[in-house]
């Protein structure tokens, strides 16, 4: 089973995401993460889906997606030749005994402090999914109060363009 990122262009109107996610459910495929965003063309939305499967399963997902009438384009993102990023917001319990340790760890990961209160700090980190996984692992010895993570969003490097 390999982790695969798919980038889709779909018509920008209501119900598209429901039909797309239903396609995955009906075929028994899991969505590890899903992001939807506007594009430079207001009639289209970009959907980035992270999923896992063998080559045959990924091929089936791509072929089934192409059957949706809202489908305009699909592209399997090559993780070695792409820009894949996520956003993490994490609130950590903090006092004078652990503040310097948290700041040191967060500095290594280039986390931004976006909120400080008497008993906590909220950090913002963006980067590759593996970077965020590692950052969370390094915070496990501390008290993570809340955490929210976006799904992956991705673009292929260079001249490759997903379009109609």
Burial 127-153 (b: 16+ CB within 10 A, else e): bebebbeebbeebeebeeeeeebebbb
Burial (0-12, 13-18, 19+ Cβ within 10 Å), 85? middle
Whether the per-residue pLDDT at 134 is higher than 70: the answer is: yes
Mean pLDDT of the residues in the chain: 90
Q: How far apart are CA 159 and CA 155, in angstroms?
A: 11
Q: Which residue has the higher pLDDT, 164 or 50?
A: 50
The CA distance from 108 to 18, in Å, is 39
pTM flag (> 0.75): yes
Helix (H) or strand (E) holding 3: strand 2-11
Q: What is the DSSP letter of 150?
A: P
Q: Check residue 83 and give its pLDDT.
A: 92
In this predicted structure, what is the pLDDT of residue 57? Answer: 87
163 has a pLDDT exceeding 60 = no
DSSP for 64-80 reads HHHTSTTEEEEEEE-GG
The more confident residue out of 54 and 85 is 85
Which residues are 6's β-sheet partners?
49, 76
Distance of CA 40 to the CA centre of its chain: 20
pLDDT band at 160 (very low <50, low <70, confident <90, very high): low
For the ranges 9-13, 35-39, 78-82, 108-112, the one whose mean pLDDT is highest: 108-112
Whole-number pLDDT of residue 70 = 81
Residue of 158 and 133 predicted with greater confidence: 133
Question: Which segments of the chain belong to CATH 3.30.70.260?
Answer: 2-77
Tokens representing residue 86 in the block: 């996520």
Cα–chain center distance at 132: 11
The answer to whether 12 touches 42, Cβ cutoff 8 Å, is yes
CATH 3.30.70.1150 segments of the chain: 84-153
Task: Report whether pLDDT(150) > 60.
Answer: yes
**pLDDT above 90 (res 1):** no
Q: What is the per-residue pLDDT for 68?
A: 81
Strands 144-149 and 153-156: unpaired
Confidence at residue 2, expressed as pLDDT on a 0 to 100 scale: 83
Fold of 84-153: Alpha-Beta Plaits (3.30.70)
pLDDT value of residue 23:
86
Q: Which residue has the tokens 């970009």?
A: 46
Fold of 2-77: Alpha-Beta Plaits (3.30.70)
**Number of Cβ within a 10 Å radius of residue 39:** 15
What's the whole-number mean pLDDT along residues 46-51?
A: 92
**Cα–Cα distance for residue pair 45/9, rounded to 1 Å:** 6
């Amino acid at each position: 089973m390999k982790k695969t990122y798919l980038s889709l262009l779909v018509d920008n109107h209501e119900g598209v995401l429901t039909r797309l996610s239903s396609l995955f459910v009906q075929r028994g495929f899991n969505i590890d993460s899903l992001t939807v965003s506007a594009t430079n063309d207001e009639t289209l939305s970009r959907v980035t889906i992270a999923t896992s499967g063998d080559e045959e399963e990924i091929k089936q997902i791509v072929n089934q997606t192409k059957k949706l009438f809202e489908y305009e384009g699909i592209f399997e993102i090559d993780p070695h030749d792409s820009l894949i990023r996520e956003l993490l917001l994490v609130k950590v319990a903090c006092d004078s005994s652990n503040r310097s340790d948290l700041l040191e760890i967060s500095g290594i990961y280039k986390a931004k402090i976006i909120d400080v209160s008497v008993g906590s700090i909220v950090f913002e980190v963006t980067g590759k999914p593996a970077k965020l996984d590692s950052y969370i692992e390094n915070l496990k010895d501390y008290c993570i109060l809340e955490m929210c993570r976006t799904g992956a969003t991705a673009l292929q490097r260079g001249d490759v363009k997903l379009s109609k």
